[in-house]
Structure 1
Amino acid sequence: MTASAGHLDATQDSVSESTVDIQAWLSRCGQRLTNAHPAVSLDEGIVLWHRAEGWLPVALWPANADGVSLLDLAGQVREAGRGLVSPLASGGVAIGYPVRDSGERSDDALVGAVAFRVTAVRAANATPDEHDLMPLMQHLEDAVATLERDILVGQATRMRTRHARLGEHLTLLASMLEQPGFDAAAMQLTTRLAIALDAERVSLGWRRGSRTRLRQISHSARFNRKMNRIRATEAAMDEALDQRRPVWWPLSASTEREVSTPVNRAHGSLCEMTDVPHALSVPCLDEGRPRGAVTIERERPFDAEEVEALQGLMALCTRALEEKRRNDRPLPVKMLAALGEQSGRLLGAGHLGYKLSALVLVAIVAFAYLATGTEHVSADAVLKSEVQRVVAAPFQGYIEEARVRAGDEVQQGDLLAIMDTRDLRLQQLQAQSELAKLASEAQELRAEGERASLNVIDAQRQQVEAELQLIQSRLERANLRAPYDGVVVGGDLTQRLGSAVEAGEELFRVAPQGGHRIELEVNEARIGDIAPGQQGELVLSAMTDVPIDFEITRVTPQTRRREGSNRFVVEARLEESPPALRPGMEGVGKVEMGEARLIAIWTRELVDWLRLNVWRWWG
């Protein structure tokens, strides 16, 4: 229970005491002990109880008794934690017994001590005998056990009430959370609270700047903000929020003497205006910051348990209501609020890490705006030979032998592969036999003088000689040789030995040593900045430690689609050709564009994208 709630009633500082009537029990106990033991007389009794401000007497019997002589024994019983008997200077004896609470306060079970002044009936102020005191102490122990039982029963009843109230609050919270907006949630909260607390009116206000504005009243869809009652309710809410504690009207007689009682002048004015005798305002705090307040008006007074339960309920509901209020705001208002919140963090107290991050960001932006650097256009690059010679199959036939594969270095005239020539040699023998036969026939016809037939034979002989020359040419080309010094960049016949090839089919591709060129794939967004003669630098994946200078020689109209973007092919010439270069190597080339501000270099792609989309939608 909070300190503010504890001032509602001074008798409720002790939970055990608030569950039973100590004065009524002491009166009943004194009467019963007197009637049950006629040999002794119980002159007076007192109960000492543990309260917030210490151990204080809370009950006295009879009403006109003094009880001062019993305080010492009650204090001794409290310290010893057991029943005691002590003689009194004024005559008679004092008997006492401790009262324990074995329920909620198991860690500090001793909550009170009861003491009686006992004298013998046979003579005034005489000391009773031991055999008279023993039954009396046993009877007192039974009476204290009854008091302890009543305390436990009261606590159990109080706990059941608390659990039922907690269930109602959870149901209320669930019904409020399922509402889509702030107004609907506020209506659920106020209406259900009014029903649960049997209140005349429940009002919910929310802070706007330094003042609270009324947002919802139970069972009322609309209200006039200019009404005096509305203004008085808002003033009562401000009164509770300014003090950060619950404020109620009226104060009890005991709490008016307390130093820390809340200021409740606005609540008194509200009750006078509405003729409702009791009013309570509970602040809605979120991480210590005031968000709003709930004001409840009803006929019967509020107890401490209700105030404590309402504080717990509003602690759960405040964050949910604030989130719904923020979500209901228009988007521009949300943006301005977020900007204001970030500005407050940046310019206000605390948030050192946030401020340091902002300073670093400002320094980076200032450096990027003032400093300059060399702008580059990056593009994927492929290394290719300037010239490549294709070695093709000279005729239709079969592969007999393969001497090289892709990647081998060759000299001019080196043997690359050998074609199978057995069929050609048979054709050569056949053509030679045919040529000899035609020569014999021509000699006979010449002897006989058949000139017409001799002309036919001469034509056939010329045809066979031409076929023989073709066969001879194919035999000479059956051995495939390197056309010049270079590297075999394509072709591997080692897996095709004995297989058939068609005439003109590509078998090898040979590139000369040195003489490389580069193909750069430049994004179409930057192709307008590329021109022949520009310098650049190439880094190959296989030679990342050796940058190679190049010069743009040609911007081709050829395009390639790569990674969702259109790219133009740009050719470049290497300034030098290291021996380790091989056609087909890939890397990244950068073309120098000149000096520019760093912020322009870093944001160029973003700016181009924004310009394009602005033109597309609003141009």
Structure 2
Amino acid sequence: MNFEKNIQKKLIQKLLDIVRFDGPAVQFWEKYIENFTRFCQADRAILTGCVDGEWKIANSYSTKGDAWRLKRFPAHLVEQGLQKKIAAGNVDGITIIAVAVDVGPQEQSPVLLLDIGQRTLSISENTIYLISSIPSLFQAMRLYNKARTDALFFAKLLQIVRAVSDDEKFGLASLRLCNEIASLFYCDQVSLGWEKKGKIKLKSISNMETFEYRANSVWELESAMEESIDQDSEILWPQKDNGKLQTRAHDTYGGIRRVGTIVTLPIRRGREVLGAITCEREKSAFSENEVWRLRLLLEQVAVWLDTLTHTDRWFGRKIYDWATDRLKSFFKIEKTGLKILFTAGIIAFAMLFIPVWTYEVDGTFILKADKTAHITSPIDGFIETVSVSPGDAVEKGGALIDLDVKALLLEKASMLATLSKHQREAEKAVAKNCLADMKIARLMEKETESELEIIAFNLKNASIQSPFAGIVVEGDLTSKLGAPVRQGDLLLKIASLDDLSFEILIEEKDIYDFSIDAGVRIKFVGKPDSVYGAKVTKVVPQAVFSGGANVFKVYAGINYAPEKWWRPGMSGVAKIESGKRSLWWIITHEAFDYLKINFWL
């Protein structure tokens, strides 16, 4: 009996020792369930918790080493244990004790199920109730230890901030900060870099008053700091679980230094990044709590370090900064009227003389078809049928005009009779053995065959077809049915709608203001609400006289499908881009050109 009491005392002591356990929570629960099970002399135990309204097994323990497999989960017993704190019931012939475990007021209590077999529980409910409250004591102890640790850290942080603030030189303040961080976080080396003209310059290394700026390791360290600043994030090296941050520079620097872990944090003042600090440690990785503390410390000293970068400078630099500050003070609220006037003058000057306005050369255009066909009469004859009129769309090989072929057919019949005659004469000459007559007949036969081939060719061409898909733009023959035509007479004109370009007329004075490939804006007279784009493809070097002035023809092409309603001959206004000009030049250049030409200025 005394032996069992001694064992229970030891188990109670172990349970009390668990309150001061400083390891992970998972290990705490394993130790707690094991000792609770042994103290109650149970065979097995299961810790259950309610997740989204459903009870699930969180942890288990067995003194026999086997798993406890329940045929059915005793949900009713668990609910009773949660309500009464301690409840007992029989499940599948086994006595089970359900104990609500106190984990504090913030969370719902889990329930511990104890398998005591056929035995009766020899421990009082008060004792079990006290043991079930150990997790809440553990939580309270953890919070106390964290609060105590944080209080000590904040006290140390205030000491560091005060010590750094006492230094009036940037070099001494940055070196002191590196040394203090190395001591507080047990770092092997701490380095501080400062931003200058978009680059990071290494300023201090812990426990080192001087270092070689041109060393390869220094360059790689600066690259690692810039890598953190460019991504605007703290970088822990080596990364866990294939992190999303780029760590190429840290990989290189870590390989040179051969350290276990590195953390780099940007130094910020508000949203402005001032520099970065890199901490190195061989033995253990930096925890998230340590990174948070580092970030907090840097936020406290960033303002003073930034102030020292402006005050700890040579005399000439201070004069420059003073002049810059005076200029900034000009834009404060004092002397508002003068400042508004001055600002308006600067804006007006910028608008007039800074070349930010797009200048365009004006011209008129005519839509031209790059591919046209003049349809002429292939033979002498008469127009029999006309299938198209101006404006009609035609396909490649489509019928256009049919000429009357009656005369050709009669001529073909006559030639066939003549051919038959010459063939018979040749056969008679062969029968009479007259060689000369036979040769003459054969020659006449070949001559007749040649004439038949000409007639067949004319018959084939008597039906005129379109050489390509397009539209009829000229030639109204619907009123000329039966009219005679001679070979070579122009009948129709067809233009392709797939190859269109703009023929733009530009005045001589503007021809040098743009170049090939300049952008063009097009507006049609019939549709002024729409603007279309084009590019200059060719400038004809020969001027022509039009509208009382010399003009040059400029051709502009398009790289997209033309609109279905576009037709050759349409006109409108074109504006050719001529680059950026100042508003003053745009307003006055024509007047100055007039004066230069007429007054020889």
Shorter-chain TM-score bucket reads 0.3 to 0.5
TM-score, L = length of structure 1: 0.43
TM-score by length of 2: 0.45
